[in-house]
Amino acid sequence: MHILLFDDPAIQPNLLPFTFTRPVAALRCGILTIAEKWQHHLQQPVHYLTQPHLREKFPAGPTEGPALVINGAVCPDEKLIEQVQALQPGEALLSEELLVAAYLPDASEVAELIQDGYRDVRQAKGSLTIISQPWHLFQQNGAQIRQDFALLTKGRQSQPVNDAYTIVYGAENIFIEEGVKIRAAILNAEDGPIYLGKDVQVHEGAVLKGPLAVCEAAHVNVGAKLRGDNTVGPYCRVGGEMANSILMAYSNKGHEGYLGNSVVGQWCNLGADTNTSNLKNNYAPVKIWSHAAGRFVNTGLQFCGLMMGDHSKCAINTMFNTGTVVGVGANIFGAGFPRNFVPSFSWGGSAGFETFRLPKAGEVAERVMSRRNLPYDQPEQDIMAYVYEATAKDRVWERAAGNSTAPIVIE
């Protein structure tokens, strides 16, 4: 049976800017992406039903024969897995009105399914973890680290901590994969598990507090302070102070500075002494920009920091205000706080923005990816070109440039 994870059309737009460049199920929350969670639970490969511009990079796989179609925004647990596996041909599992999963006798019927084409309906039992807003990623991260830790380590033996100068608390809650190197660090897993993926390096003086996931080949730099509920994605580098935040993959926060209650996509770089505010001075609920609504929306959260899309960068000493959203391919620099919404392919900062033209942005992406021996290939280029065109409306200075009485920059 094929496993197909679909982008729910009512959810996918709310998860921009992260879903500009990946399916919903490719979002990382906890140790694993949502797709990886389903794959581990179901013990077979999964495929994506996603936006047209993403399909070459994230293919749907086979489209004939029986298929289990699953909402890519839903994080599985053992109770939900039992309910999904119990579905009979033609049955769908719903949580109130949300389609969670369905068993299709023929995968070619998936379009009709998503348009309410299922025959029989079951209601899901128990509460579900649904990632339907960007801030849900860091909100759920600690709980998902705990669940993924149990899933990945069940019946397995951790590698030992061989460094005599590393201090360990709660050793039974620490799992170390092969190839990990630790030097003179502190690992405190008393309040939650710590997972160190294959070939991770933890450098001198780093303090790691669980729940924490440091994924494959990531580096925790000298003196880093990881305060809990953090995920450092594959091939990322992290330093300074980080709390309740996620770096998806291939991104760097290598220096001093604070990152809190934040989500950073792939191929991003935060310059030295970059700081994010995650709490307003008046302690009021944080509002952030919604691409779907086209306006700022209330998160209902007191703590909310930075949401940064793929391939975005910021210079040294950048200061992000509470609840800042940065799109894809932006380059931010200069003194002062940039605006709370930085559109995709912006170039500038608090003094104003101009457009980071696609060819130049592509040159940067190619250089950055080549450092990790990965190509900036045609599917990646096509995704970036799509996002560039789709977000043109957000770069209001481009419209203003056609009006001689209007300023070209945004203050």
Cα–Cα dist 306/134, whole Å: 10
Q: What is the pLDDT of residues 119-158, one digit of tens each?
A: 678 898 989 999 999 999 999 999 999 999 999 999 999 9
Tokens representing 14?
A: 């709310």
CA 229 to chain centre: 14
Residue 111: which pLDDT band, with cuts at 50, 70 and 90?
A: low
CB 225 within 8 A of CB 208: no
Tens-digit pLDDT profile for residues 62-76: 777 889 999 999 999
**pLDDT tens readout for residues 224-281:** 999 999 999 999 999 999 999 999 999 999 999 999 999 999 999 999 999 999 999 9
pLDDT digits (tens, 9 = 90+) for 160-201: 999 999 999 999 999 999 999 999 999 999 999 999 999 999
- What pLDDT, in 10s, does the model give residues 286-318? 999 999 999 999 999 999 999 999 999 999 999
> What per-residue confidence (pLDDT) applies to 105?
85
In this prediction, residue 14 has a pLDDT band, given cuts at 50, 70 and 90, of: very high
Q: The dihedral of CA 352, 357, 360, 362: what is its sign?
A: positive
pLDDT at 410: 30
Summarize pLDDT for 344-398 with one digit per residue, the tens. Answer: 999 999 999 999 999 999 999 999 999 999 999 999 999 999 999 999 999 999 8
Does 411 score more than 90 pLDDT?
no
- Give 404's pLDDT tier (boundaries 50, 70, 90): very low
E strands in 61-157: 67-71, 74-75, 91-95, 98-104, 120-123, 129-130
Instruction: Compute the average pLDDT of residues 194-220.
Output: 98
pLDDT band at 114 (very low <50, low <70, confident <90, very high): low
- Beta bridge partner(s), residue 308: 264, 326
Q: What is the pLDDT of residue 406?
A: 34
The overall average pLDDT reported for the chain is: 93
- pLDDT of res. 128: 95
What pLDDT is stored for residue 8 in this prediction? Answer: 96
Spatial CA neighbour of 48 closest among 60, 37, 36, 66:
60
| Token representation of residue 377 | 């290939």
Answer whether residue 403 shows pLDDT above 70.
no
Query: Rounded to whole angstroms, how far apart are CA atoms 141 and 214?
Result: 13
Tell me the whole-structure pTM to 2 decimals: 0.94
For the cut 60, the answer to whether the pLDDT of residue 408 exceeds it is no
Give the pLDDT band of residue 113 (cuts 50, 70, 90): low
